[in-house]
Amino acid sequence: MEISGKAAIVTGGAGNIGRAVVAALRQRTMTVGVLDAVPDGGSLFAGDPSIAYVAADAADESAAAAAIDVLAERIGRVCVLVNCAGLIHSEPLVNVLARRRHERSTWDAVLASNLTATFTVGSIVAERMARTRTKGVLVNFSSFAAAGNPGQTAYAAAKAGVEALTVVWARELGPFGIRVVAIAPGFVDTPSTHAAMDPDVLAEWLRRTPLRRLGTPAEIAQAVLFAIDNDFLTGRALALDGGLSI
């Protein structure tokens, strides 16, 4: 897909991976709309008139719809959506030592951030694209954890849901010329990864990773570009995990 001069929306674009995706799209001369919950996130993109920023909760349907209206007015007809918004959370189902179980409040928050936000923004943008007969691609963010990562009940469930809806959407939207792809990173060197993982646990995961290192946001952004560029790719989750899943 030729994207030079066209428009994209990136949710979670103020985060570390999101910013790398925005930068990669801008290097390909796309106009980019960023939707993120960070109120002052627009300051991260100050000085680039080809980036529009709106602060909104991607999981809130009315707020997301209003934000997308604003972004579309500023950047034009959208042909690429990158659903990068998400929240990493680690919590065992049962913690015997602490005499507690996984909290429902964190379950709700993690599913809202990772799965509901993807559904909400994806459905809004897909409807616009189908109605205006705009061919394009939706790129969702899954994770290595989608296969079932111990200690990440809510996060794993949310990412498994993202992969399922990626397949469903690819089948439903393909006739409209809309492709849907998921990116499934392993552990990426970002502050959120280090905050969510105990250092000893993370070290053990790295030991199991054939490449023995964390991924970088730039490497994830390269995979997003590949998903956008390849017009025969749809309905699949691309594992980008240093070999962890093999």
Which of 94-103, 107-116, 205-214, 233-242 has the least mean pLDDT? 94-103
**pLDDT at 123 > cutoff 90:** yes
For 200-216, write each residue's pLDDT tens digit: 988 998 999 999 999 99
The pTM for the full model equals 0.95
The predicted pLDDT at position 201 comes to 86
The predicted pLDDT at position 11 comes to 98
**pLDDT at 195 > cutoff 90:** no
Assigned token pair, 2: 């030729």
**pLDDT at 20 > cutoff 90:** yes
The predicted pLDDT at position 155 comes to 96
154/114 Cα distance (integer angstroms): 10
Within 10 A of 186 (CB to CB), how many other CB atoms are there? 23
Assigned token pair, 80: 């690429």
> Domains of the chain, with CATH numbers?
7-190+216-239 (3.40.50.720)
**pLDDT at 54 > cutoff 90:** yes
116/127 Cα distance (integer angstroms): 16
105/90 Cα distance (integer angstroms): 13
- SS3 category, 228: helix
The predicted pLDDT at position 231 comes to 97
Q: What is the phi-psi region of residue 200: left when phi exceeds 0, alpha when psi lies from -120 to 50, beta otherwise?
A: alpha
155 is catalytic: yes
DSSP code per residue over 110-142: HHIIIIIHHHHHHHHHHHHHHHTT--EEEEEE-
126/172 Cα distance (integer angstroms): 10
Q: Which of the following is catalytic: 45, 53, 155, 187?
A: 155
Contacts within 8 Å (CB) and 24+ apart, 102-110: 102/153, 102/154, 106/154, 107/153, 107/154, 110/154, 110/155, 110/158
For 129-162, write each residue's pLDDT tens digit: 999 999 999 999 999 999 998 889 999 999 999 9
From the list 101, 95, 173, the residue with the least C-alpha distance to 131 is 173
Assigned token pair, 131: 């109605």
**What is the pLDDT confidence band of residue 99, given thresholds at 50, 70 and 90?**
confident
